[in-house]
A and B are shown apart, each in its own frame.
Chain A
């Protein structure tokens, strides 16, 4: 453990980015729900820590027309207790399944993205909605699609001097669902999860799977199949056979493995059931 440490507590984004440029090795700390577990168990030994606690700009959110812009510091509890929950129902469902009240009061969406766990609960939703992640360093700003930011299990392509500042997602334009299975209801990391979003204006269905591959998986074949079978006037898939088939196609898209949380076989089964339920709940 380094004995000499320094903790930076900037109060503006400008200052935070300046600190990151001056000490690019500084570890970024948001809610700490992933970070502090690593600290407590000696898996992370930073010499410099940049805390985002007092950077209020990152806590803000806004609606810009059909787009919702969520600051990286928006907490799961903020999503649940604000209008974000109605503007992005699947994101709210995902936030509600995270950890416990204590974790939801602390953990942030920016931290969930940066951690890039295949079981991160907001990720399938962000994938299905094709979220754009807004990133800044002192050098400038860039926008990148979520699927390009997350490069593998717990890997992202952020540079050392960069911060995620916000996430842009479309406001819901039709029914959405987030489903998750694990060993219990509360305080559980997903064994498998699924996000489902209906886009009425484009007459499209998007579906993404969590915890069944190294990163989130989009079910393009299943999406195409079911998209052509939606009755867009009644906003439902009338045929029971098509709903079941949708579940099967989603399950075929998985790259599930056996691990300490579940087996590949159970995960594939769970995905087919959740996909069926998502499409059945549409109307």
Chain B
């Protein structure tokens, strides 16, 4: 396959046409600037902060490090594909309940990362939670409340 102009991405189960002006755009940029999916945040564009985390082919990845035009035909899930304001996931609700959201900039990336963690490890230890979220930076909460939010989801799911 060769791509010169237009391409389609499969995002949250929907085919999305992308008419980029430039093929060098990252998936993060395309999600936000071309497709209006602003849940995915941009804070570094170098893989350091995790605010742009999405699932690509079921794997947690930084969308800023993904060349959008090469992600054709691959399942992409963004935070919008996990929950909506009127239909939040238990992870999102727990973040709110535990005060794990302050400015909220890191939250979408963390929600995706926690979703991914709990799929592969439904009962993570504190250490496992820390390691799984090591690629997501938060400048506000000091992480304690984020970990507490994850612990609470795990407890609720096992009740």
Q: Which residues of A come within 8 Å of B, CB atoms?
A: 1, 3-11, 29, 31-33, 35-37, 39-41, 45-46, 49, 51, 53-54, 77, 99-103, 105-106, 185-187
- Among the listed B21, B62, B67, B134, which residue makes an inter-chain contact with A39, where contact means beta carbons less than 8 Å apart? B67
Number of interface residues of B (CB under 8 A): 34
Residues of B within 8 A of A4 (CB): 4
On whether the beta carbons of A7 and B50 are closer than 8 Å, the reply is: no
Q: Which residues of B come within 8 Å of A, CB atoms?
A: 1-4, 21-24, 26, 45-48, 50, 53, 59-62, 64-67, 69-70, 72, 74, 113, 116, 131-132, 134-136
On whether the beta carbons of A106 and B61 are closer than 8 Å, the reply is: yes
Provide the bound-state CA to CA distance between A39 and B24, in Å: 7
On whether the beta carbons of B135 and A36 are closer than 8 Å, the reply is: no
Listed by A's residue number, 13 A-B pairs whose Cβ atoms lie within 8 Å are A5-B4, A6-B23, A7-B4, A7-B23, A7-B67, A10-B1, A36-B65, A37-B45, A39-B24, A100-B47, A102-B113, A105-B59, A105-B61
Most B CB contacts (10 A, CB to CB) among A11, A46, A99, A102 go to A102
Residues of A within 8 A of B21 (CB): 3
Please name the residue on chain B nearest to A37 by beta carbon. Answer: B46
Provide the bound-state CA to CA distance between A45 and B24, in Å: 8
CB within 8 Å: A-B pair count:
113
- Among the listed B24, B59, B64, B132, which residue makes an inter-chain contact with A46, where contact means beta carbons less than 8 Å apart? B24
On whether the beta carbons of A7 and B69 are closer than 8 Å, the reply is: yes
- Among the listed A32, A101, A103, which residue makes an inter-chain contact with B132, where contact means beta carbons less than 8 Å apart? A101
Residues of B within 8 A of A99 (CB): 47, 135
Provide the bound-state CA to CA distance between A11 and B24, in Å: 20
Please name the residue on chain B nearest to A53 by beta carbon. Answer: B70
Residues of B within 8 A of A100 (CB): 47, 50, 134-136
Residues of A within 8 A of B61 (CB): 102, 105-106
Provide the bound-state CA to CA distance between A6 and B132, in Å: 36
- State the Cβ distance, B15 to closest chain A Cβ, in Å: 17
- Interface residues of A, dominant DSSP: loop
Residues of B within 8 A of A45 (CB): 24
Provide the bound-state CA to CA distance between A5 and B2, in Å: 11
On whether the beta carbons of A40 and B45 are closer than 8 Å, the reply is: yes
Residues of B within 8 A of A51 (CB): 67, 70
Provide the bound-state CA to CA distance between A6 and B23, in Å: 7
Please name the residue on chain B nearest to A75 by beta carbon. Answer: B59
Provide the bound-state CA to CA distance between A147 and B48, in Å: 30
- Among the listed B53, B72, B131, which residue makes an inter-chain contact with A9, where contact means beta carbons less than 8 Å apart? B72
Given A40-B45, A45-B24, 18 other A-B residues pairs in contact with their CB atoms under 8 A: A1-B22, A5-B22, A7-B69, A9-B1, A11-B1, A36-B47, A39-B26, A39-B67, A41-B46, A49-B24, A54-B1, A100-B47, A101-B60, A101-B113, A101-B116, A106-B59, A106-B61, A186-B134
Please name the residue on chain B nearest to A33 by beta carbon. Answer: B65
Indicate whether A103 sits within 8 Å of B24 (C-beta atoms), given known contacts A7-B2, A33-B47, A40-B45.
no
- State the Cβ distance, A131 to closest chain B Cβ, in Å: 26
On whether the beta carbons of B135 and A103 are closer than 8 Å, the reply is: yes
On whether the beta carbons of B134 and A187 are closer than 8 Å, the reply is: yes
Indicate whether A102 sits within 8 Å of B70 (C-beta atoms), given known contacts A5-B24, A7-B23, A187-B135.
no
Residues of A within 8 A of B47 (CB): 33, 36-37, 99-100, 102-103
Residues of B within 8 A of A105 (CB): 59-61
- State the Cβ distance, B23 to closest chain A Cβ, in Å: 4
On whether the beta carbons of A36 and B134 are closer than 8 Å, the reply is: no
Please name the residue on chain B nearest to A5 by beta carbon. Answer: B23
On whether the beta carbons of B66 and A36 are closer than 8 Å, the reply is: yes
Indicate whether A36 sits within 8 Å of B113 (C-beta atoms), given known contacts A9-B72, A99-B135.
no
Provide the bound-state CA to CA distance between A6 and B62, in Å: 23
Residues of B within 8 A of A102 (CB): 47, 50, 53, 60-62, 65, 113, 135
Indicate whether A9 sits within 8 Å of B3 (C-beta atoms), given known contacts A1-B24, A40-B46, A99-B47.
yes
Provide the bound-state CA to CA distance between A8 and B7, in Å: 12
